Chains A and B, each alone.
Chain A
Amino acid sequence: MADVSLRKVVKRYDDVEAVRGIDLEIADHEFIVLVGPSGCGKSTTLRMIAGLEDISDGDILIGGDVVNDVPPKDRDIAMVFQNYALYPHMTVAENMSFGLRLKHYPKAEIKERVTEAARLLDITDLIDRKPKQLSGGQRQRVAMGRAIVRNPKVFLFDEPLSNLDAKLRVQMRIEIKKVHQKVRTTTVYVTHDQVEAMTLADRVVVMNKGCIEQIGTPNELYHKPATRFVAGFIGSPAMNFVPCRLEDVGGSLQIRLTDRIAFTLPPARAARYNALPRTDKLLLGIRPEHLTESHAHLEPGVETFDTVLDVTEPMGMETLVYFGLNGTPICGRVNPNAGAKDGSPMRLAMDLNNMHLLNEATGVVL
């Protein structure tokens, strides 16, 4: 097991820069998830760590050694691919032991490791089957088994759950987490699914357009996003962004959303935003769970307003309500018994204690 460092790593394809000088320190035993939309450079980064792509500039270190020119087979890594990449002509056991056989491990040790990995992944009964005879989830377990038996320094996962159905994905997510808790191997995991990122990672790396937007624990990313991109990418349904401006009214700081709607900021927020120029174009960032039905007893910093709902989506444990604020579509989360109906008026409460204020031009969270 080892730590992994990326130092000013760049990947260029002709004139296109897919990865733009990223720096990343991954500690030993850590589970890091690279997340971002398609084309953000996350898979390219993973493939560069694996040695499947050359790096155009910068350094990649595994266990303190620069591996820029080291071929994949000598990096002591294991990778799980999106479409499993199992050898169709080999049995499960042969697939899992392939790497060990190439390295001429003793037969007894190979058998022991394969048996142990199969037990860990609950695929002991499938050991003599060919990949064709397995379901998607079983194939993914075998692919993981192939990685585990090698006992590598680093595990690399390239969107391993993308080909599975929603239910199996949740199941396998838990399996992956359990396996990591047992083997504690440094893991780099690529996904475009922010739920996977949040649930699996010790730290999440959010990537966009070849750059790292933010690195942090799932909670940090959720509650303290650094940029509009991160704020909008993490969380489902996504954070709402409403154009707004700051106003001084009677000695207190207000945030004005529309001609009719303006709220006095709670003292903590007012102190934080007081120094901002009043002329700046700003965005109010508010998550749907902080836009709920109004109660009789509201906490300080929770402000109410009336609106007409466009659409409602009953989800069972909650109802998502959609409405417009000055033409901006907004989503809120209300209690299913709050009486929200399509086209009906409703009084909603906005929890300003959990608001974010962003600079509209730069997208930076203030």
Chain B
Amino acid sequence: MADVVVEHGRVAGATGARKRTSLHNALKRKSTVAFFLTLPLILLIALLVLYPALFSIHLATLNKSMQKFVGFGNFTFLFKRETFWMVVKQSCIFAITAVIFKALIGFIVAHFVHNIPAKGQRKWRGMLLVPWVIPPAMSTLAWLWLFDPSYSAFNYTLSLFGIGPVNWLGDAAWARFSIILVNVWYGAPFFMIMYLAALKSVPDQLYEAAAIDGANWWQRIWYVTLPMMRNIIAITTLFSLIVTFANFDIVRILTSGGPLDQTQIFATYAFRVGIESSDIPLGASVSLFMVPILAVAAIFILRDVNKRGNEA
């Protein structure tokens, strides 16, 4: 619609073009109009994304009182601290393990749901999405009770078999397990729904052709389903990796990073040093450290997606 108007305007204005100023001519150009039409969105992105990003970079270069420019001082300080490297390690373990399990469980559940007859499928899809639609702050509180060492349902059940009690959130290994478990519980439905959509887009005849070609169930998954879902898997994994790396609420509510910072990840550690210890520049530096890690992952994953985009 806009194109037509612009074209029309250009033709109509052709005769009087000489009389008009160069500003008028600029305004008549398609690219100028396009720029002005997208300007509100550009401003919105600049305001909500670019400004905070640049401001946090600025903050990361200041001293604790935010009075003095210290350059990479905050980063060199962080790099010397053992706790920081522990946070890096824990964040990587947390995010990678959680994403792998979310993807795996999502894939398996998506397959089951895909094979349920269409009549009952909606009901199952709805129920399986529940963990993802409940605000994580609320559902994590329920998990906090389930993990309680003295009166939780988990420990009670285990006690019936003569096991436990397990100190779910007090022991470092169990605490790491617990936060990953809750994150997987919360995030797997997202993978499930994305994979289900991808599964539905694979033509049945490809499976039939594979079955006739001699492929068994596993070979059909390996040679047909997975290659056909590669782009969705890549994009979902990248998205989930970013969100999981930046996770805050689950760890904050369950362990607050404890015991002894053994479950601290980037976001909770940034909160600890930035807000609780009132060193905002150092907190900003911790947050920014995620960027290069995720950027590298994004480049690798998206480059692959672009390559495959030409196949379908």
Q: Which residues of A are interface residues toward B (Cβ below 8 A)?
A: 50-52, 71-73, 77-79, 81, 83, 85-89, 98-99, 102-103, 130, 132, 146, 150
Contact = CB atoms under 8 A, between A and B. Distances in A.
Given A52-B208, A72-B212, 18 more contacts: A52-B211, A52-B212, A71-B211, A73-B214, A77-B212, A81-B205, A81-B209, A83-B205, A85-B206, A87-B209, A87-B210, A89-B230, A89-B311, A102-B213, A102-B214, A102-B219, A132-B311, A146-B209
Interface string B210-230: 111111100100011001101
B203 interface: yes
Given A73-B216, A132-B311, A132-B312, A85 B205 contact: yes
Nearest to B312: A88
A79 B223 CA distance: 18
Nearest to A47: B208
Contacts of A78: 212
B310 interface: yes
Contacts of B216: 73
Nearest to B230: A89
Nearest to A102: B214
Nearest to B310: A132
A150 B212 CA distance: 11
A98 B228 contact: no
Q: Nearest 3 A-B pairs (CB), nearest first? A: A99-B213, A85-B205, A85-B209
Interface residues of B, number: 22
Given A85-B203, A87-B206, A102-B219, A50 B312 contact: no
B209 A79 contact: yes
A43 to B, nearest CB: 12
Interface of B: 203, 205-206, 208-216, 219, 223-224, 227-228, 230, 308, 310-312
Contact of B224 (A87, A99, A146): A87
Grouping DSSP codes into helix (H, G, I), strand (E, B) and loop, the B interface class, with mixed when no group exceeds half, is: helix
29 contacts: A50-B212, A51-B211, A51-B212, A52-B211, A72-B211, A73-B212, A73-B213, A73-B214, A73-B215, A77-B212, A79-B208, A81-B205, A81-B208, A81-B209, A85-B205, A85-B206, A85-B208, A86-B209, A87-B206, A87-B210, A88-B311, A89-B228, A89-B230, A89-B311, A98-B213, A102-B213, A102-B214, A102-B215, A146-B213
A112 B277 CA distance: 72
A79 B203 CA distance: 16
A222 to B, nearest CB: 33
A317 B12 CA distance: 55
Contacts of A72: 208, 211-212
A50 B211 CA distance: 10
Nearest to B213: A99
Task: Give the interface centre of B209, B219, B308 by most chain A CB atoms within 10 Å.
Answer: B209
A8 B312 CA distance: 42
A99 B214 contact: yes
B214 A103 contact: yes
A96 to B, nearest CB: 10
A228 B246 CA distance: 73
Nearest to A78: B212
B60 to A, nearest CB: 43
A158 B196 CA distance: 28
Nearest to A52: B208
A146 B208 CA distance: 14
